[in-house]
A and B are shown apart, each in its own frame.
Chain A
Amino acid sequence: MLWRDNYELGVPVIDAQHKELFRRVESFLQVLRSADNWEEKVNKINETLDFMKMYVVEHFRDEEEYQKSIGYPGYEKHKQLHIGMVEYVQEFCKQYEESNNSEQLMQQFGGRLLAWLINHVAAEDQRIADYAIKKGMSGNGR
């Protein structure tokens, strides 16, 4: 399983979203890494990619709203990290389409996404949680 309990931040509203995000990334990676040959699985991959992309954007937006609601001082900086990732995903999707669904490109995307996501949740999002807990606002769901 992709999710690990040590990614839990102690802020229920973010933790629930992260678990859902990891579930979607995991199902994408499972198709990507399955033994089926590329032609067989490419449609399924494109589907799960779209599904995951939608959730990533939604989650970033919700997380930014949450940061604002607790007055998180690193809001602007964190938002830039989200924007950077969304831009990378868009750029990748463009290249992937132009390459006519290159497996090599998609494998590269999967590897980077995995490492990026884990670092983002384990390091960057942790700062939001630390702040919320310090301010006694970690229970503030919407």
Chain B
Amino acid sequence: MVDKIYRTFVDATQNVFNLMLNISDISDHPAENFNCDSEIDIAIGVIGDLQGEVVYRFPASTSINMVKLMSGMQFDEVDAFVTSAISEIANIISGNVLTALSGSDLTCDILPPVQTKIDEQKEYDIKTSCCISTTIGAICLEIRLNKAA
């Protein structure tokens, strides 16, 4: 189950980078320690057969590169525009994951993206993280979900 969820998120992320940013050179590995100078954490709440959240950790440099690529415009810092654009990307990836999971009889819904700080302490049935590396930088996904009782 953990593997399947992990794979679904990685595939959806790769797909979105491919379609939206035209980036196909992407690799993934489990994230033991994902460190960067400054990052924006975007949480997408999950409700339904799975409950919890997925936190997308976007380093500032990756975020800026993504928005530059999408807009063809210059960006120097992570502001409200950049944060909102990458929040929408987290939303799109998560939506695509749910569509993929509904094919294997898991019915879930997502909540609007919110900026967050990760709480490392809590325990979950499904707790895994993956780092996705691309030519414009890495992002890390923290998946924290419980199966509905």
Contacts and interface: CB of A to CB of B under 8 A. Distances in A.
Interface in B1-21: 16, 19-20
A118 B21 CA distance: 9
B22 A6 contact: yes
B88 interface: yes
A115 B73 contact: no
B92 interface: yes
Contacts of B46: none
Contact of B88 (A2, A4, A29, A115): A115
Interface residues of A, number: 23
Contacts of A118: 20, 70
Contacts of B87: 111-112
Nearest to B18: A122
Contact of B92 (A1, A107, A119, A126): A119
Contacts of B114: none
B85 A29 contact: no
B95 to A, nearest CB: 9
B27 to A, nearest CB: 22
B81 A33 contact: yes
Where chain B touches its partner, the secondary structure class is: helix
Contacts of A107: 79-81, 84
Contact of B20 (A30, A104, A111, A115): A115
B89 interface: yes
Contacts of A109: 84
B103 interface: no
Which of B67, B73, B81, B89 has the largest number of chain A CB atoms within 10 A?
B81
A136 B87 CA distance: 38
A6 B22 CA distance: 8
B58 to A, nearest CB: 12
B82 interface: yes
Interface in B42-91: 67, 70-73, 79-89
Contacts of A112: 84-85, 87-88
Which of B79, B82, B83, B85 has the largest number of chain A CB atoms within 10 A?
B85
21 contacts: A29-B71, A32-B81, A33-B71, A33-B81, A108-B80, A108-B81, A108-B83, A109-B84, A111-B85, A111-B88, A112-B84, A112-B87, A114-B70, A115-B70, A116-B88, A118-B20, A119-B20, A119-B88, A123-B19, A123-B20, A126-B19
